[in-house]
Every structure is written in structure tokens, then in C-alpha cells.
Structure 1
Amino acid sequence: MTTALQPPLPSHPLLRLRLAPRGGLPRPIDGAWWPRSYDLLAELPQLLAGLPRAWGHITSVTVNGATWTAAPGRMLVANQVIRLRRARTAATPHTVVLLAPGRGRWDLLVVPPDTTEEAAEPLMAAAAEGHA
């Protein structure tokens, strides 16, 4: 019997994140994030670890409360407390808002986890170009 060798799965899947280039003008969307699930406790640490250092320490994250699984009001990520807020507005159902005191606010388009790669790529590219 022959067994095909499979490459080992990475212990940490690659972060699916596309950010808009830095510019002088504010934009409604600063990029796109394509999480693998709607489990905020599982997905948020990887997102925060992959953000540019120039964004500073994110202290508050706001997500659509109807979309993401239940999460506590606070979460410890890399020995830092992150406040989790759940908005219930229809205006921004597919975004996550990141706040860093003294640095700014960043709004990311959230591509639904079950989106195919063919459908996700143009959404992420458009958000990174500021067209989302």
C-alpha cells in the first residue's frame, strides 16, 4: 500500500488581510480581513498580531453583534487587555473597527469566512484600494 505524504499543516494559518496604502486622506475602509470563522476569541489574536506596528496598541475592537459568536467584554491578547464591543447597526454589518488611543481608528471590511477564494479576492482588492 502506498501512502501519499501530505505536507504538515501550519500551526498558525496565514492571516488573510489586505490593507490600503497609507495616505493623507481618510478613507471609509482601511482594508479587508477574511477570517476563517466568526469565533472572535479564535480569530482576533491573529488579526491583532498581523497589524502594522505603526497602528500602535489596539485597545478596543467593535464588531457586528449579530454576526460574531458571543464573546466576553474584554479579552487578553499578548498580555494586553482588549475591550470588545458589539454594535447592532445595519449600517456596518461586515466591518470590524479597531481603536488605538492617540494613533487612530481603522475600519476593516470583513469578508465572510465561507466566501470562496474566487469571490473573496476581488472584495479584498477593492477594499485595499479604497473602493469597498
Structure 2
Amino acid sequence: MTTALQPPLPSHPLLRLRLAPRSGIPRRLDGAWWPRSYELLEELPRLLAGLPQAWGHINSVTVNGATWSTTPGRMLAFNQVVRLRRTTAASAPHTVCLLASGQGRWDLLVVPPDTPMDAAEPLMAAAAGDDA
């Protein structure tokens, strides 16, 4: 009897996310996300998995339509439906908006995937408010 060896599962790269500390003061940005590509169906589940549980279930995500790959209107993530919306608003070309019913709204700066680390780190720090 022979046994086929299974190749090891590919390791999932660490989520590149930096969030602003919680406070009662409204912020324009709640942090920064540095995805590895513009393939939303690949990147979004990693982002959603890495968010604080206190944010609740994200049920709607709005991205810049000109930046991200073509996406369906909805996707299944962690056995729950997430509505995907595309905007072409010039006011938010590099952001993603996350909504959780009854919990709130969070806006994250999206650092372009091809940004070098030495340029991405300061952007992420500034968006999270820890650039002091």
C-alpha cells in the first residue's frame, strides 16, 4: 500500500494592517492596510479575518472601482455575505470603507501593493496616528 504525500499548505503571509487606537475623537482614517495585490477576492478575506472582534461582522465594503480588480456585488467570507460596492469618488482613491450594521464605519488608507517597505511604513504609521 502506498501513501501519497500531501504538499505542505502554502503559508499565508502576515496581514499588513495598522489601526489607530480607540478614542472618542472622530478620525478621518482609522488606520492603514497594505494589501499584497489588487485582487479583492483574495485580499479582503485576510483583512476581514484580521480585524478586531469589537468591530463586529463587516457586512459592506466599499472600494475604489478604478483601483481594484473586477468584483461581484457580493462575496461569502467566513460563512457570511459581504456586500461589495465600487465607487469612483475622487475624494477617496486610496481608501476602503468597512461597515458593520449597528457597530460603525471604519475607513482605512490602502497603501498600494507595490509600494516599497521604506515608503509604506511611514504612510501606515501616519494613518494610524502613531507617527509622533
What TM-score results when the alignment is normalised by the length of structure 2? 0.91
Matches of 1:104 and 1:130, distance apart in 2: 22
- 1:41 match: secondary structure: helix
- Matched with 1:3 is none
Q: For residue 115 of structure 1, what is the amino acid of its counterpart? A: T
C-alpha displacement of 1:104? 0.2
Q: For residue 27 of structure 2, what is the amino acid of its counterpart? A: R
Question: How many residues are paired up?
Answer: 124
Give me the CA root mean square deviation. 1.5
Matches of 2:81 and 2:26, distance apart in 1: 27
The structure 1 segments of at least 4 consecutive aligned residues displaced by more than 2 Å after TM superposition are none
Percent identity, please: 77
- 1:108 match: secondary structure: strand
Q: Deviations over 1:69-123 (max 9, x none)?
A: 0000000001000000000111100000000000000000000000000000000
- Matched with 2:124 is 124
Distance verdict in 2 for CA 1:10–1:119, change over 3 Å = farther
Q: Deviations over 1:53-76 (max 9, x none)?
A: 000000000000000000000000
Matches of 1:21 and 1:9, distance apart in 2: 34
After TM superposition, the structure 1 = structure 2 runs for residues 25-64 of structure 1, keeping only pairs within 5 Å, are 25-64=25-64
Matches of 2:53 and 2:72, distance apart in 1: 26
Q: Which runs of no fewer than 5 residues in structure 2 stay unpaired?
A: 1-7
Q: Which runs of no fewer than 5 residues in structure 1 stay unpaired?
A: 1-7
Matches of 2:98 and 2:127, distance apart in 1: 16
